[in-house]
């Protein structure tokens, strides 16, 4: 017995130390993170009634109506760039309403994935994880007993049931994540997305000044960049803000939902995105832009700072970016010069003429640990789906930290003078913690579009969307091999894409060599796993 | 008296070696080391059947050798030159200035060098002023190693020289005075007194560095490389990071880490033998 206990303590510690020793982590500028949305609130929020009644009873000051019989403490881990503890406003509100005291375990957003990976290696999980685990990881570890099967707790999750399981469309999506053993470990985010978050933006004032008509197709897009270059020879008209990630956003406009594995809805089969003709067209197009000096030569190392600087100094005029940048940059320009005509506006997609659809249910890798606190954790998760939880998490508490004004906009007296966005609400109150807003309130600032943002939503509705990839479904026994192959393929295609775009001598011969290599080394094996 | 030290080594040095077992298992943190199924040499085979294995090994060795061949002697040379500065104020000022970059985080050092060598950075501005064309240093694999080593030197020369300065301060001053009376030049004093006196330190430091030729921490690589330089820049450590940590393939990452350690041990033993024969000094 003694040996067994000792092994239980030492084994995970040893494993973690070995893994960490073997792979010391850098300050993660490479770490990939969910892009947190943020929004302006100049326009009043669209009044949209919540989809469900608040099924859990409201708690009173004596604790009647709590989700638990006596105060219970659980741990919750998430990524953020702000500091929180159990006394943070949001956790105090959660305790008042539910009786559950949350002890936050916060990792910096940039290195959240690496930290989560190290914690997983130790086997010691927090009760609730708002991390970025992939669906295959969640299912693999869930089947091994690490995560709780949500379907086992439906009895204590009336709000989750009403929103997701009882809604035929939502349930259909949710069930695609159910494992072969009939379990589902996923905690999805319900209706977070707007019609569009990222798209092509352009300096409307410069276009107007130069008499350039905003593009409606790829050729128009190219001609606009050429005209801009002629007018501003020292500029690189097309800019990116996040290295190759920005470049990847244009792929969907060319009809490739993913460069590694993508789904062909017509043929109903998976294919390797980077071996498709559409990918070649995409590469040829950007090679042309690069060769002619129409795009930032250091696009792979671009950051938000380099992007902002280029736009504010007339060194760049077109980009594919988060739509909130329209007001952010307009405001920044006005701060520099109150009389500026600087105006960033939303433009048409290029390629196929469609932006990619955004899902109704987001699966960001949230999960609940399978331990003695699972039921309490599930009750708290369910509360986050409730109208009360939704409002507190994404708008606040009326009369306490905000009031509705006449136009139906939430006004925060303590934040008077600041532009209200979700980042500010997270910093001040702990609301909008990444991943924990399981049912964002449509009256919140996130859905309060500026005039330009609303125009973007309307345009995308009018144009219609291209379909996103369906869920990648890999058998448990193939997961490790699949991950290795994807890593190899991603490296291979990233290097090829960068070299193709920046090297005018790359053409059909290099393309064919690349396609053959990728197909032989990765494609056939990956597709045999996916098209089973 | 031995017990605390022995316990320390048992718990924190030898104990963790038990975790090496996961390199031979399909490790799951939730099954634990003992209950995870054995996988034999599967992960080692996977690594060797990987198309990139030789490229990764070559890149790692090349970077390790360059660091050893360029940085190691330059650090000693810097310490010896600093030791020759007679004006104590100047000496302290040089030492402090050279040591200051050590207080900067790696992220900042890498950012400084990326900015310096960017298309509109200081170096390119100088090139343009002198009539040359802009060079895309950060995206050209030819310049990757140059920038990497240069940033290593800038960030680590001062701190690396401290060990040798400490060793030089322990050299008997009577030797220098006697040599001066015999008409010995400064260069000869360095050659026949300073260097031989600190030779055991040099050998020890050399062997420690040789052992790390293949074990290069990937932090700087991860901060410096991009898709254009990946083929030149990618080393075993950065690959293990991407596969082991990012993709949570712990067993595979550990297997590669174990191979890396085994190779480092072989190199260290060989270097120790060579040093023992050549200089009479060795680690053991």
Structural domain includes residue B27: no
Of A65, A44, A45, A47, the C-alpha closest to A56 is: A65
Per-residue pLDDT at A4 exceeds 70: no
- B42-70 pLDDT tens trace: 999 988 888 788 899 999 999 999 999 99
Instruction: Examine the pLDDT at B275 and tell me if it is beyond 90.
Output: no
Q: For position A30, what pLDDT does the model report?
A: 28
Q: Is A7 a residue whose pLDDT tops 80?
A: no
Give contacts of B 11-50 with A, CB under 8 A. 15-16, 18-20, 22, 26-34, 46, 50
CA distance B24 to chain A (A): 12
Task: Give residue A387's pLDDT band: very low, low, confident or very high (50, 70, 90).
Answer: very high
List domains and CATH numbers for chain A.
37-192+361-449 (3.40.190.10), 198-357+474-530 (3.40.190.10)
A491 and B CB contact within 8 Å = yes
Chain B residue numbers touching A28 (CB-CB < 8 A): 222
**Could you tell me what percent of chain A has a pLDDT over 70?**
88
**What residues of chain A, 458 to 487, have a C-beta less than 8 Å from chain B?**
480, 483-484, 486-487
Q: How far is A420 from chain B (nearest CA, A)?
A: 31
Q: Is the pLDDT of residue A216 over 90?
A: yes
Q: Which residues contact A58 (CB under 8 A, 6 or more apart)?
A: A65, A97, A388
Given a cut of 80, is residue A395 above it in pLDDT?
A: yes
Q: Report pLDDT digits (tens) over B200-211.
A: 999 989 988 888
Number of domains composing chain B: 1
Collect all residues of chain A within an 8 Å Cβ-Cβ radius of residue B118: 298, 301
DSSP string of A148-208? --GGGGGGG-HHHIIIIISSHHHHHHHHTT--TTS-----PEES---S-SEEEEEEHHHHH
CATH number, position B91: 1.10.3720.10
Q: Is the complex ipTM higher than 0.90?
A: no
Assess whether pLDDT exceeds 50 at residue B159. Answer: yes
Contacts of B246 (CB under 8 A, 6+ apart): A31, A32, A113, A114, A117, A487
B:142-201 residues touching chain A, CB 8 A cutoff: none
Residues A338-372: pLDDT tens digits? 999 999 999 999 999 999 988 889 999 899 999 99
What average pLDDT does the segment B30-41 reach? 88
Q: What is the mean pLDDT of residues A423-449?
A: 94
A71 neighbors A56 (Cβ within 8 angstroms): no
Measured distance CA(A413)–CA(A286) in Å, rounded? 48
At residue A59 the predicted structure's pLDDT band, cuts being 50, 70 and 90, is low
pLDDT at A236 over 90: yes
CA angle A414, A418, A423 (to 5 degrees): 90
pLDDT band of residue B253 (cuts 50, 70, 90) is confident
For residue B24, is it within any domain? no
pLDDT at A29: 29
- pLDDT, average across residues B65-92: 93
C-alpha span between B278 and B173 (Å, rounded): 27
Does B222 contact A484 at a Cβ distance shorter than 8 Å? no
Q: Within a domain: residue B262?
A: yes
- Residues of chain A with Cβ-Cβ distance to B51 below 8 Å are 488, 521
pLDDT at position B46: 86
pLDDT higher than 70, residue A42: no
**Predicted local distance difference test score (pLDDT) of residue B19:** 84
The residue range of the domain holding B155 is: 37-279
Cα–Cα dist B195/B279, whole Å: 12
What is the C-alpha separation between A447 and A47, in angstroms, rounded? 10
Q: Judge: B27–A15 Cβ closer than 8 Å, yes or no.
A: yes
Nearest to B243 among A146, A487, A498 (CB): A487
Q: Are B223 and A27 in contact (CB under 8 A)?
A: yes
Pairwise CB contact (< 8 Å): A121 & B218: no
More confident of the two residues A424 and A61: A424
Cα distance from B60 to chain A (closest Cα, Å)? Answer: 14
Report CA A474 to chain centroid distance, whole Å: 22
* Secondary structure (DSSP) of A389-436: HHHHHHT--BTTTBEE-TTS-EE-GGGTTSPP-HHHHHHHHS-S-TTT
Residue B48 inside a domain? The answer is yes
Residue B279 has pLDDT above 90, yes or no: no
Of A58 and A179, the one with more pLDDT: A179
Q: With respect to residue B18, please indicate whether it lies within any of the assigned structural domains.
A: no
Query: Are A312 and A340 in contact, with CB atoms under 8 Å apart?
Result: no
Summarised one tens digit per residue, pLDDT across range A106-146 is: 998 878 888 888 888 888 899 999 988 888 888 888 988 99
Q: Which residues, 6 or more positions from A444, have their beta carbon under 8 angstroms from its beta carbon?
A: A45, A394, A395, A410, A422
Give φ, ψ of A322 to 5 degrees. Answer: -65, 135
Distances (CA, A) of A338 to A202, A291, A342, A451: 20, 37, 10, 20
Q: What is the pLDDT of residue A36?
A: 38
Q: Considering chain A, what is the average pLDDT of its residues?
A: 86
Asked whether residue A8 carries a pLDDT value surpassing 90, the answer given is: no
- Reported as type and span, the H/E element at residue A265 is none
Which whole-number Å values give the CA distances from B64 to A363, B50, B113, B149, in the listed order? 42, 22, 20, 10
pLDDT at A51: 44
Beta bridge partners of A77: A105, A129
Would you say residue B58 lies in a domain? yes
Mean pLDDT of A23-27: 32
Instruction: Flag whether pLDDT at A444 surpasses 90.
Output: yes
Is residue B230 in some structural domain?
yes
Q: Do A23 and B245 touch (CB under 8 A)?
A: yes
What does the pLDDT average to over A84-88?
96
Residues 294 to 333 of A: which have CB under 8 A from any B CB?
Answer: 297-298, 300-301
| Cα–Cα distance for residue pair A264/A173, rounded to 1 Å | 18
Q: With contacts defined as CB-CB under 8 Å, which chain A residues touch B32?
A: 7-8, 11-12, 123
Domain assignment of residue B31, yes or no: no
Is the minimum CB–CB distance between A447 and chain B shorter than 8 Å?
no
Write the pLDDT tens digit of every residue in B224-241.
Answer: 999 999 999 999 999 888
């Amino acid at each position: 017995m003694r040996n067994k206990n000792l092994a239980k303590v030492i084994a995970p510690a040893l494993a973690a130390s070995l893994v960490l020793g073997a792979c010391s982590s850098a300050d993660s500028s490479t770490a990939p993170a969910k892009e947190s949305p943020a929004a302006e609130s100049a326009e009043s929020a669209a009044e949209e009634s919540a989809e469900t009644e608040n099924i859990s009873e409201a708690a009173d000051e004596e604790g009647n109506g709590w989700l638990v019989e006596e105060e219970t403490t659980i741990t919750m881990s998430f990524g953020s760039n702000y500091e929180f503890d159990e006394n943070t406003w949001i956790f105090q509100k959660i305790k008042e309403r539910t009786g559950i005291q949350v002890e936050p375990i916060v990792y910096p957003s940039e290195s959240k994935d690496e930290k989560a990976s190290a914690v997983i290696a130790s086997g010691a999980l927090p009760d609730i994880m708002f991390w970025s685990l992939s669906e295959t990881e969640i299912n693999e570890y869930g089947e091994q007993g690490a995560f709780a099967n949500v379907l086992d707790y439906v009895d204590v999750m009336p709000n989750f049931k009403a929103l997701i399981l009882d809604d035929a469309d939502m349930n259909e999506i949710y069930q695609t994540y159910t494992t072969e053993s009939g379990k589902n470990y996923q905690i999805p985010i319900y209706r977070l997305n707007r019609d569009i978050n990222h798209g092509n933006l352009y300096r409307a004032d410069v276009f107007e000044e130069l008499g350039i008509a905003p593009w409606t197709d790829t050729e128009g897009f190219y001609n606009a960049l050429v005209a801009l270059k002629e007018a501003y020879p020292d500029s690189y008209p097309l800019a990116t803000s996040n290295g190759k990630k920005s470049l990847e956003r244009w792929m969907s406009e060319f009809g490739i939902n993913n460069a590694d594995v993508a789904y062909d809805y017509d043929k109903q089969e998976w294919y390797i995105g980077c071996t498709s003709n559409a990918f070649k067209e995409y590469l040829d197009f950007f090679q042309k832009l690069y060769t002619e000096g129409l795009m930032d030569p250091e696009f792979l190392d671009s950051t938000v700072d380099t992007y902002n600087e280029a736009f504010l100094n007339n060194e760049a005029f077109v980009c594919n970016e988060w739509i909130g940048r329209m007001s952010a940059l307009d405001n920044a320009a006005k701060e520099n010069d109150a009389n500026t005509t600087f105006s960033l506006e939303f433009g048409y997609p290029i390629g196929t003429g469609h932006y990619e659809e955004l899902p109704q249910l987001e699966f960001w890798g949230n999960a609940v640990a399978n331990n003695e606190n699972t039921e309490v954790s599930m009750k708290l998760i369910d509360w986050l789906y409730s109208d009360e939880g939704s409002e507190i998490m994404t708008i606040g508490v009326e009369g306490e930290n905000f009031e509705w004004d006449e136009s139906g906009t939430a006004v925060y007296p303590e934040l008077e003078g600041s532009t209200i966005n979700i980042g500010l609400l997270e910093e001040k109150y702990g609301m909008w913690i990444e991943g924990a807003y399981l049912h964002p309130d449509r009256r919140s600032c996130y859905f309060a579009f500026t005039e330009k943002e609303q125009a973007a939503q309307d345009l995308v509705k009018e144009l219609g969307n291209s379909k996103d990839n369906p869920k990648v479904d890999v058998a448990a026994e193939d997961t490790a091999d699949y991950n290795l192959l994807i890593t190899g393929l991603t490296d291979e295609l990233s290097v090829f894409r960068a070299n193709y775009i920046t090297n005018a001598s790359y053409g059909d011969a290099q393309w064919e060599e690349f396609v053959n290599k990728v197909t032989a080394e990765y494609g056939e094996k990956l597709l045999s796993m996916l098209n089973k | 008296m031995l017990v605390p030290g022995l316990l320390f080594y048992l718990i924190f040095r030898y104990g963790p070696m038990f975790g090496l077992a996961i390199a031979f298992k399909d490790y799951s943190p939730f099954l634990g080391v003992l209950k995870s199924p054995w996988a034999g040499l599967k992960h080692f085979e996977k690594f060797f059947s990987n198309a990139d294995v030789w490229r990764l090994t070559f890149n790692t060795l090349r970077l390790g050798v360059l660091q050893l061949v360029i940085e190691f002697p330059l650090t000693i040379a810097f310490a010896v030159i600093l030791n020759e500065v007679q004006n104590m104020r100047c000496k302290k000022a040089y030492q402090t200035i050279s040591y200051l970059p050590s207080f900067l985080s790696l992220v900042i050092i890498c950012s400084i060098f990326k900015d310096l060598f960017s298309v509109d950075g200081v170096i390119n501005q100088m090139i343009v002023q002198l009539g040359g064309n802009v060079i895309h240093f950060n995206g050209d694999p030819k310049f990757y190693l140059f920038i990497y080593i240069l940033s290593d030197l800038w960030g680590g020369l001062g701190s690396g020289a401290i060990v040798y300065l400490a060793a030089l301060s322990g050299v008997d001053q009577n030797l220098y005075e006697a040599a001066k009376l015999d008409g010995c030049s400064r260069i000869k004093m360095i050659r026949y007194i300073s260097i031989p006196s600190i030779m055991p330190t040099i050998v020890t430091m050399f062997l420690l560095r040789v052992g790390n030729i293949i074990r290069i921490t990937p932090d700087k690589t991860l901060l410096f490389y991009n898709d254009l330089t990946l083929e030149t820049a990618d080393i075993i450590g950065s690959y293990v990071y991407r596969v082991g940590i990012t993709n949570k393939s712990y067993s595979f990452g550990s297997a590669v880490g174990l191979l890396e350690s085994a190779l480092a041990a072989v190199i260290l033993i060989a270097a120790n033998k060579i040093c023992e024969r050549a200089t009479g000094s060795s680690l053991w």
